[in-house]
Amino acid sequence: MPTTLRIALLAGLLALLSNLAVIGFIYLRTHDEAVVTVHQQVVEQGKVLADVYRSGGKAALDDAIQDTMTYADPQTAIAVIGPRGQQVIGNLETEPSLALPLQEGYHNTLIRLHGQTTPREAALVVHRLPTGQWLVSGRLAGEGFAIRETLERSLLIALVVAGLLGLVCGLILAHYVGRRVHDIATVADRISGRDLSQRVRLSGAGDAFDRLGRQINAMLDRITGLMEELRLLTDSLAHDLRSPVSRLRSAAHAAAEASDPREQEELLGSVIRQADALMRILTAVLEISRSEALTGRKQFSWFDVGELAAELTEMYDPLADERGAVLEYDRPPRAVPLFGHRQLLAQAVSNLVENAIRYGSAGGEIRVRVEPGERQIRVEVGDRGPGIPAERRDEARRRFGRLDSSRSDEGAGLGLALAEAIAHLHQGELVLEDNAPGLLTVLQLPVQSKQVRAA
C-alpha cells in the first residue's frame, strides 16, 4: 500500500520537523542563558578586582588574587600579566601558542590553568592597570558547556523518539484513512463494474468521510433514478411508437396495394396523418428533454401571465364548447408580470387545458385561474371530470403516463410531462390536486426578485 506508506512517512516527517523546531528553540534559549550567566559572573568578578585595586592599591590586589587562587572554585582564572606578556602573579599557564588578548574588555578565548593539561574555553575580562600591567580575570566555561552537552544529548534523543513516534502515529493514521477511503473506493469500483445497487457504508461519526460517503450515495440514488427514468422512457417510447408505426406501415401497405385511385388517395392521407402524429410525439419528447436541459433560458422575457391565460382560454373555448364543456376564466384583478419563456409557458398552459378538455369535459365546467402571490404565481386549470386518485398522480405526470392505456386517444401522454418540464425550467413545479370532484392541475411559478427584474 504505497499510499498508506506515503501518508505514514509524511506524518513522521511532519512530527520530526515540528519537534526539531521546538527543540531548536529550547536549545538556543538555554545556550544563550548559559552564556549570559557566565558573562555576568565574569564581568562582576573583574569589577570587584578593579575596585580592590582602586581602593587598596597593588598590595590589596595581590592579596585578593592570592585569596581567590586559594579559595575560589577551580573554574576561576585570575592573573596579572606584565607588559611583555609574562605572568606576574596568577594561575594561568602562559605559553606562546595561547596568546592572551591583551586589550581592555571582554573576551572568549582558550586558556590553560595551572595543573591542567589541555586548554579550555574561558570567558575573560581584561583591565589595564596604571602600572602598564594587565589584570586578567574570568571563568572556564566548562560548567556551562557541560550542562549544554547534557542538554544537547537529551534533545537529540527526544528528536529521534519524536520522529519514531511520528512515524508510528502516521502509520496508524494512514491505516485509518486508508481503510475509510478503501471502503469508498471499493464501492466506486463495483459501480464501475455496473453494480449500481452498492452504497458506501457510513460510520455514523458524521465526519468528513461520512459526508463524502453520503454525497456519493445521494449521487448514486440520483443516477439510479435517472437511469430508471431513462429506461422507462425508452421502454414506453418504444412501446408507444410501436402501434403508430405499425398502423403507419399497414396504411402505407394498403395504399400501395389499392387499385381504386380514390381509395388510394384516402389511404395516403391516412399515412400522412399517422406520420404527423409520430412527428408530434417525437417533437414533444425532444421538447421535454430540452426544457429540462434549460436550453430555452435565453429567450426569457417579461410578460403578463393573466393576459396569456386569457388568450389561451379564448383560444380553447370553442373546442371545449364542442366537447360539451364550459371553459371559464377568472381574470386576476391586476397584471401578473412574470419573467419567463412566453411560448413555452403558453404550451404548458395549453397542455393543461387540452388535458382538462380531453379527460374532464364530461364534468361540464373547466375553470382556469391565475393567482398572483407574494412568492409564487399559481396558474390553475380545474375540471370536474373523474380526476386522478392521489396515489396515481405521480404516474400521470410521467412521460407517456397515460393512465387509461386501453383508450385509443389522440394524446400521447406527454402533455403533463412537458408542462412539468416547462415548470422546472422556470424553477417551478407542476402540482396535481384534488378539485373535489375532478382534477386540479397547477403550475406553481416562483416570482423573481426585484434585482433580477432590474437586470
Q: Does 313 bind other proteins (CB under 8 A)?
A: no
- Do the beta carbons of residue 438 and residue 385 sit within 8 Å? yes
- Do the beta carbons of residue 157 and residue 140 sit within 8 Å? no
Q: Does 357 bind other proteins (CB under 8 A)?
A: yes
Q: Does 296 bind other proteins (CB under 8 A)?
A: yes
Q: Which of 251, 274, 277 lies closest to 413 in space, CA to CA? A: 277
Dist. CA 284–CA 299, nearest whole Å: 19
- Do the beta carbons of residue 89 and residue 65 sit within 8 Å? yes
Q: Does 426 bind other proteins (CB under 8 A)?
A: no
Detail the DSSP E strand segments found in 280-359.
301-304, 326-330, 337-340
Give the Cβ contact number of residue 302 at 10 Å: 11
- Do the beta carbons of residue 430 and residue 416 sit within 8 Å? yes
Q: Does 341 bind other proteins (CB under 8 A)?
A: yes
Identity of the residue, 100 or 345, whose beta carbon is nearer to other proteins in the bound complex: 345
Identity of the residue, 80 or 425, whose beta carbon is nearer to other proteins in the bound complex: 425
b vs e for 21-41, b when ≥16 Cβ sit within 10 Å of the residue's Cβ? Answer: eebeeeeeebbeebbeebbeb
Give the Cβ contact number of residue 415 at 10 Å: 24
Identity of the residue, 125 or 420, whose beta carbon is nearer to other proteins in the bound complex: 420
Binding residue for other proteins (CB under 8 A) from 31, 199, 201, 358?
Answer: 358
Identity of the residue, 4 or 361, whose beta carbon is nearer to other proteins in the bound complex: 361
Judged by CB under 8 A, the chain residues 182 through 241 that form the site for other proteins are: none
Given CA atoms 16, 17, 20, 22 in this order, what sign does their dihedral have? negative
19 contacts: CB under 8 Å, gap ≥ 6? 158, 159, 162, 163, 166
Rounded least distance, CB 218 to other proteins, Å: 31
Rounded least distance, CB 233 to other proteins, Å: 17
Rounded least distance, CB 317 to other proteins, Å: 9
198 contacts: CB under 8 Å, gap ≥ 6? 187, 190, 191, 220
Site string for other proteins, 361-400 (x = CB under 8 A): ----------------------------------------
Identity of the residue, 296 or 337, whose beta carbon is nearer to other proteins in the bound complex: 296
Identity of the residue, 152 or 292, whose beta carbon is nearer to other proteins in the bound complex: 292
Dist. CA 331–CA 329, nearest whole Å: 6
Rounded least distance, CB 318 to other proteins, Å: 5
Binding residue for other proteins (CB under 8 A) from 124, 187, 305, 412?
Answer: 412
Binding residue for other proteins (CB under 8 A) from 346, 403, 431, 447?
Answer: 346
- According to DSSP, the residues that pair with 376 across neighbouring strands are 446
b vs e for 86-108, b when ≥16 Cβ sit within 10 Å of the residue's Cβ? Answer: ebbbbbbbbeeeeebeeeeeebe
Of 125-133, 155-163, 215-223, 281-289, the window that binds other proteins (rule: CB under 8 A) is 281-289
Binding residue for other proteins (CB under 8 A) from 31, 190, 280, 424?
Answer: 280
Cell of 269: 392521407
Q: Does 44 bind other proteins (CB under 8 A)?
A: no
Judged by CB under 8 A, the chain residues 429 through 448 that form the site for other proteins are: none
Rounded least distance, CB 186 to other proteins, Å: 43
Rounded least distance, CB 262 to other proteins, Å: 12
Q: Does 351 bind other proteins (CB under 8 A)?
A: yes
Q: Does 269 bind other proteins (CB under 8 A)?
A: yes
Give the Cβ contact number of residue 2 at 10 Å: 6
Identity of the residue, 15 or 345, whose beta carbon is nearer to other proteins in the bound complex: 345
Of 34-42, 171-179, 252-260, 404-412, the window that binds other proteins (rule: CB under 8 A) is 404-412
Q: Which of 395, 439, 446, 391 lies closest to 417 in space, CA to CA? A: 395
Binding residue for other proteins (CB under 8 A) from 156, 286, 335, 452?
Answer: 286
Binding residue for other proteins (CB under 8 A) from 14, 26, 223, 279?
Answer: 279
- Do the beta carbons of residue 395 and residue 401 sit within 8 Å? yes
Of 15-23, 315-323, 370-378, 400-408, the window that binds other proteins (rule: CB under 8 A) is 315-323
Rounded alpha-carbon distances, angstroms, from residue 281 to 238, 276, 286 = 11, 9, 9
Dist. CA 453–CA 386, nearest whole Å: 41
Binding residue for other proteins (CB under 8 A) from 57, 74, 105, 318?
Answer: 318
Identity of the residue, 232 or 268, whose beta carbon is nearer to other proteins in the bound complex: 268
Binding residue for other proteins (CB under 8 A) from 209, 303, 316, 400?
Answer: 316
- Do the beta carbons of residue 81 and residue 100 sit within 8 Å? yes
Q: Which of 195, 414, 390, 103 lies closest to 285 in space, CA to CA? A: 414
Q: Does 307 bind other proteins (CB under 8 A)?
A: no
Q: Which residues bind other proteins (CB under 8 A)?
A: 269, 272, 275, 279-280, 282-284, 286-287, 290, 295-296, 299, 311, 314-316, 318-319, 322, 341, 343-344, 346-347, 350-351, 354, 357-358, 410-412, 415
